[in-house]
Structure 1
Amino acid sequence: MDWIGIKVEFNNSVPSERQLQVDPEKLVNIPHLESLLNYSFNDRSLLVEALTHGSYMLPEIPRCYQRLEFLGDSVLDYLVTVHLYKKYPDISPGLLTDMRSASVNNECYAQSAIKNGLHKHILHASQRLHKDISRCISNLKEVPSGPSFGWESETSCPKVLGDVIESLAGAILVDSGYNKEVVFRSIMPLLEPLVSPETLRLEAVRELNEFCQREQFLMRMPVVSREDGLTSITIQVEADGAMFKHTSTAADKKMAKRLASKEVLKALKGIGSARLHGE
């Protein structure tokens, strides 16, 4: 910044002054959350803000978690990037990028939030959100104990579940005087086990695209329709003179495309296996 002529003075010793007039102990379970996060807040109103959904606006809580989420999103992306760079000094930038994508996404964060019970502490007044969270947890049935890539899930989770991981990271960053190492020690255990080169799996849409390019199969444009708040997507691939297609429906367009791609990919891999064995 100095080199391009912008003078910036960083004073990280004192968190910014806040005007929130709240009694945190009446709104959230401070001891449990501080134990879970392995961090004791100096300003516990930050913890309240980090867990406050936009539907839960009180005079004493003038803003929801979105500003802290904005901050936490960036710091977690940075921390995971540095962690992977240091831990795997010999792997390629492309593989590092894939590993970061598998580790830093809203679906992955959402599963971490559920696994650690953070969904029980979100302050909201939305019946719709309550139903969506309940449905998500019911559909997941059990959160995988191994590395989570988010995109392996076959159900859409409300964005707020992933957002609170980021907003909590932002809250800890501000409260600690912008100490990134404190954020790392607090949030990373919630995301474990992190992906490794051995456990990495590509997202289904991307894997299907790369598979078709490699095998010289023809992918047609997806067919998209929407009805009653649900999106249906048909993925079509022409391979060895046959058409392989599958239609999936979900509340989220990305999820519908992912599920359809996954099924088509499964069928196409059967062709590859038959080719390999000369069938």
Structure 2
Amino acid sequence: HFVLKPELVVKLQMEYPDKFVGERLGGYQFKSKSTLLRALLHRTYKQSKRPNNKTFCDPLDYVGDYVLKFIISQYLLEHCAVKTKEQLAQRRALVECQEVYALLAVRNGFHEAVFIDDRRDWEHLNEYIKNVKDVQTLKQPSSVEKRRCFIQNFFQSVAGAVYVDSGYDLRAVERVFLPMLKPFLDEVLEMELGD
């Protein structure tokens, strides 16, 4: 139930994003390509061709959110010198948030692979992309207006798609997503945080 039916893929004229997978997902080989297609499907895409079909990136973004939380937590546990519950939680919260996921999605070209056709959604997304082009550190994403930007959902849903497609293999998700997360994880490890 995490895949798109073949007839829906044809009806919506969805093409598998080979370039995105090869360049941005470390070449992970999807066993079921329709799982990734679902992860990249916005709820409003070609809605007139599927008025009663509510299939989109949900629930893969829900699954991906928890998988990413685990990967972030594990990395911090393995690499953080200070292991108090409070400091680990503070560090994790700095990385595990919509602003960082949205920024990482843009940095890694997720916006080029998603299936969106609503003009307003594209305008919001393009404005967000323009606003984050110079963001380099964890302190900066929260200062960017994220108004109605939704790209973080696709970061999470693709993580969920890799997890489900790989047979629930956390290491497969880690191999794809840790390289994207690592610069911010390493930054948060170096931060001085109060208790």
Aligned partners of 2:128 and 2:146 also within 8 Å: yes
TM-score, L = length of structure 1: 0.59
Cα offset for 1:30? Answer: 1.8
Flag structure 2 segments of 5+ consecutive residues without an equivalent: none
What SS does the corresponding residue of 2:128 show, helix, strand or coil?
A: helix
How far apart in 2 are the matches of 1:28 and 1:134? 22
Larger strand share, 1 or 2: 1
| CA-atom RMSD in angstroms | 2.7
Instruction: Give the aligned partner of residue 50 of structure 1.
Output: 39
How far apart in 1 are the matches of 2:193 and 2:100? 13
Q: How many residues align?
A: 185
Of the three residues 17, 21, 30, the one matched with 1:29 is: 17
1:3-52 deviation digits (Å, cap 9, x = unpaired): xxxxxxxxxxxxx7856113699524224323311111111111111110
Are the structure 2 counterparts of residues 107 and 143 from structure 1 closer, same or farther at C-alpha, using a change threshold of 3 Å? same
Instruction: Give the aligned partner of residue 20 of structure 1.
Output: 5
TM-score, L = length of structure 2: 0.82
Larger helix share, 1 or 2: 2
Flag structure 1 segments of 5+ consecutive residues without an equivalent: 1-15, 203-209, 211-279
Among the aligned pairs, what percent are the same residue? 25
Cα offset for 1:188? Answer: 1.5
Instruction: Give the aligned partner of residue 188 of structure 2.
Output: 196
Q: Indicate whether 1:120 and 2:81 are aligned.
A: no
Aligned partners of 1:103 and 1:149 also within 8 Å: no
How far apart in 2 are the matches of 1:17 and 1:35? 24
Task: Return the index of the structure with the highest Cα Rg.
Answer: 1
How far apart in 1 are the matches of 2:192 and 2:93? 10
Cα offset for 1:77? Answer: 0.8
Q: Indicate whether 1:182 and 2:172 are aligned.
A: yes
1:115-154 maps to which residues of 2 (within 5 A)?
Answer: 115-144=107-136, 147-148=137-138, 151-154=141-144
AA matched with 1:98: Q
Instruction: Give the aligned partner of residue 160 of structure 2.
Output: 170
